[in-house]
């Protein structure tokens, strides 16, 4: 297997594993560390609505707006304890 195919395989496998991780939080609030399209790392609190097509559709509780996050750009994801859903 050449390096390009190996890289594509590893990238796809990582995205698949992240999708499974995030899918279990549908309907819940999570905090994510995210790499945005400009390369800036941000921390967001989101309410997950749907996960498909490589995207997490959610309400960003930081900006109070609907957002779509690319799964491969989610660097970390942890559930928010119940009762701690509001953005500070």
Q: Would the pLDDT of 10 be above 50?
A: no
pLDDT, tens digit, 9 for 90 and up, residues 23-72: 889 999 999 999 888 999 999 999 999 998 889 999 999 899 999 999 88
Domain spans in the chain, listed from the N-terminal domain onward: 3-79
Q: Would the pLDDT of 16 be above 70?
A: no
Which residues have a Cβ under 8 Å from the Cβ of 33 and sit 6 or more positions away?
41, 42, 43, 74, 75, 76, 77
Task: Report the run of H or E that residue 15 belongs to, with start and end.
Answer: helix 3-23
Residue closest to 47 by CA, chosen among 60, 34, 64, 32: 60
What class does CATH assign to 3-79?
mainly beta
List Cα–Cα distances, 31 to 13, 60, 84, in angstroms. Answer: 23, 10, 11
Q: Would the pLDDT of 87 be above 70?
A: no
pLDDT value at position 49? 97
């Amino acid at each position: 297997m050449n390096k390009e195919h190996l890289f594509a395989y590893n990238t796809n496998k990582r995205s698949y594993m992240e999708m499974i991780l995030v899918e279990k939080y549908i309907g819940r609030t999570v905090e994510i560390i995210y790499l945005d399209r400009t390369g800036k790392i941000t921390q967001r609190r989101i309410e997950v609505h749907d996960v498909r097509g490589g995207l997490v559709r959610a309400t960003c509780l930081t900006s109070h707006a609907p957002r779509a996050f690319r799964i491969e750009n989610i660097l970390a994801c942890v559930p928010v304890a119940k009762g701690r859903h509001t953005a500070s």
